[in-house]
Structure 1
Amino acid sequence: MMKFVLKTLINAAAIGAAAWLIKGIDLTGADWGHKALTLVLVALVFGVVNFFVKPLVKLFSLPLFILTLGLITFVINALMLLLTSYASGQLSLHFKVEGFVPALLGSLIISIVAWGLHMVVRDED
């Protein structure tokens, strides 16, 4: 359970960094506490999307993985961030990604920040 909470908090920090750095990724809220709660909830939605949808998309795009030598992963990650934005809108969370280019840049930042935080905060496995 602790591992799940830690991964969710790392994803929330990575999404927060992307929202802070990329102009087309918006995180709105009245105060710091509301934004922090929104980030955690968006990180949960992001985790669910990556757990259920991403493996199916990767399976169906296997020929593109081979053809592009894996570079299609960046596009798939951007699409997962756009899907997270859509699902967050349906859940009335104040998180929005406005277009493919901000999603692509945001997914790169989320990947880098999450990777860095996972290197700093090690699992006990």
Structure 2
Amino acid sequence: MLPYEPCLRLPARRLRCRMSAAEQRLWCLLRGKQVLGVQVYRQKPLLGYVADFYAPAARLVIEVDGSQHLTEKGLEADARRTAALEALGLMVVRFDNLQVLTETTAVMEKIFRVVCERVRR
């Protein structure tokens, strides 16, 4: 089990109840082991962060970014988060809300490819 801050459990639960439209659409396609039989969790605490989606078997974090991530401050925070998660051996894949909502098939193809590469034995 990867380390996380226990104080993030309650905020993660709250985030699960307030997912964006893009997160909801992606969750419908990821839940129930729909991608190569790989379990995916939503709003998963990892280190001091809450990842939008986490597939432990693929060691993959999927982030769905809103407009706040496009600011200079947001980009810097995302870079720190990505570096910290990658230091644990995780891969971080980012999509913005618009991509998920308008290019859903391409987003799922990318996720499928990454999961396929990372769960190979």
TM-score, with structure 2 as normaliser: 0.31
Structure possessing the higher radius of gyration over alpha carbons: 1
Higher helix share: 1
Higher relative contact order (CA 8 A, sep 6+): 1
TM-score, with structure 1 as normaliser: 0.30
Higher strand share: 2
